[in-house]
Amino acid sequence: MKKHLLFHSKTNYNQDEKNRPTRDVSQPSDEGGSRSISPDPRHPHVGLLSMDALRRAVAERFTERAATQAELDTVLQLLQSRGLVHRLDARPGETWILLRPERINQYGAAIIQAARNHPKDIGAVTEREVLTGRLPFTGFERLPWNEEVIVLEATAELLLQHDLGFREMGYLVFPSQIKVTRVPSPITTGPLPRAEVAYRFSGAIETIYASLVVRLSYTEHFQREDQWKYAVEFSRAGHRLGFSMQQVEEGTGELEIYFETGISEFDRVTFIRFITDHLKAKGVDIEEQIRLYCPNCDREVENREAIESRVARGKLDIPCLFCDASIVIPESVEEHYRRDSALGEKQQQLADTVERRTAKEVNQFRADIRNYNLDYNLAKNKQHLEEVEKIQASNAIEKLKELDINDMNLFHETVTAAQTASAERLYVAIPSRQFSDIDIRREQYLVVAKYISRARAKELMRLVKSDAPVVYAKPELAEEYWLKELRDIVGDDGVIVEIEL
């Protein structure tokens, strides 16, 4: 099992206090993937391959000439277009190839489901829960944590990149998952504004609706004020405007747009055009329905065919069927556009603003990821420290014999090397007995010291650089990264022993 062989193939470790190891246990290891992009059948849960490992595999297999990074990128792009892999660039300076792209959908669905199940029906999940994997995961086998954390980061980032959700006060909010029913505000006098225009459209209506809400929120021209189940309200210059959606039939939705009195004609057209451009960009068929109301009796003109006939004949009004009053047919959005070039310029400005805001949100999310994971790792490692059994060096041999250690010679060799190097302590991780195969159930050693002189550390460094399961770390790295991985290695029934040197 791959995570229990974590230290069995090591690279050199940088001893600079400010640097992490060149390959540490906070990242997926490369075993099983150095000669093939396909997962090793002996380790079916292996899901990620680093770009470095891919380059090494290609160099070993194709010795005629070295492949360029551009060539590798092209091949990965082709494989991704066919759904065979997915490239993850969530962490700056790191690239991973996800060998099972369906994992993105599985983890994405888990995040969305968690938002849908929020006890207050607000369609949100905390970023901390997402990034630390504290969500209900059902219907699929989870990746090992050191791989899962990367996939979770990348999945959350993709949801933001595609404008399916937005960040707000430590939450990821998904508009399509909000279940709070809209009711008139206590301070509102009279009914809610009536819809002035509606658009029927086909496609993935929840996704289209969610991304429309997010993108409008990012325009900075319209301020999002409140939202409910399939309804959202914005403001402009102190006046409200918004839309609601309902599913007419399977795969077909209808958006109804309304405006309060006081919204300028320019802002009305800008709001409507932004919505129609969004629907067209999603490649869906849309049908416009202008809502007309009699200024005298307040009844709606429901005969759509009559309205379209009047428009086709160039008529500017239509008589009310109930009181014969004349009802003005407003100009279409396209007519406004032909008449006022500033409207087109405004749409381009809004589109540019949305793209910049989306990029800003993603970049800020990336910056915050480190803090979330650092806090979580510190808390988990504090818990793991409390679970570690502490013993004196004089009692170590007897204790380890009780625990049925496999390689006592390696233990003696590691202790001697650590003491010679003036190390502070030594952690011995003894995996659960369920991993009875000696190739799998192998003790792992972590030597901890603030400073080791080069002259006194030769034997320790020899062990660290060999195939022996021995690593060396500064105290802060041991507490921040390594202890959790030792706990993962030993399993539920294993033991970690701390030996004071």
DSSP 382-436: HHHHHHSEEEEHHHHHHHHHHTT-S-HHHHHHHHHHHHHTT-SEEEEEE--TT--
Residue 299 counted as domain residue: yes
Name the 3-class secondary structure at 61. Answer: helix
**Total domains present in the chain:** 2
Mean pLDDT for all residues in the chain = 79
| CA–CA distance, 307 with 292 (Å, rounded to integer) | 9
Q: Give the whole-number percent of the chain exceeding pLDDT 90.
A: 28
Domain assignment present for residue 125? The answer is no
Label each residue of 313-356 as H, E or C.
Answer: CCCCEEECCCCCCEEECCCCHHHHHHHCHHHHHHHHHHHHHHHH
CA angle 35, 39, 42 (to 5 degrees): 100
Mean pLDDT value across residues 477-497: 71
Question: What is the bridge-based pairing of β-strands 96-98 and 86-88?
Answer: antiparallel
338 and 201 assigned to the same domain: yes
Residues 353 and 408 in one domain: no
Measured CA to CA, the distance from residue 461 to residue 470 in angstroms comes to: 9
Q: By residue range, what is the domain housing residue 446? A: 1-31+388-501
Contacts of 224 (CB under 8 A, 6+ apart): 213, 216, 217, 232, 233, 234
- Whether residue 353 lies inside any domain: the answer is yes
Top mean-pLDDT range of 244-248, 387-391, 424-428: 244-248
- pLDDT over threshold 50, residue 30: no
**Beta bridge mates, 290:** 197
One-letter amino acid for residue 28 of the chain: P
More confidently predicted of 226 and 382: 226
User: In the prediction, which pLDDT does 97 show?
Assistant: 92
236 and 300 housed in the same domain = yes
- Indicate whether 146 belongs to any domain: no
Residue 440 domain-assigned (yes or no):
yes
Same domain, yes or no: 217 and 256: yes
Q: Are residues 351 and 402 in the same domain?
A: no
pTM (whole model) above 0.75: no
Residue 122 domain flag: no
Q: How far is CA 168 from the centre of its chain?
A: 15
- Provide the CATH number for the domain around residue 240: 3.30.310.80
Same domain, 202 and 347: yes
pLDDT of residue 14: 31
Asked if 318 and 440 sit in the same domain, the reply is no
| 353/426 same-domain check | no
Average pLDDT on 260-283 reads: 90
Q: Is residue 295 part of a domain?
A: yes
Within a domain: 150: no
* pLDDT value, residue 230: 93
Note whether 297 and 322 are within 8 A (CB). yes
Q: Which of 334, 357, 380 is the last residue of a domain?
A: 357
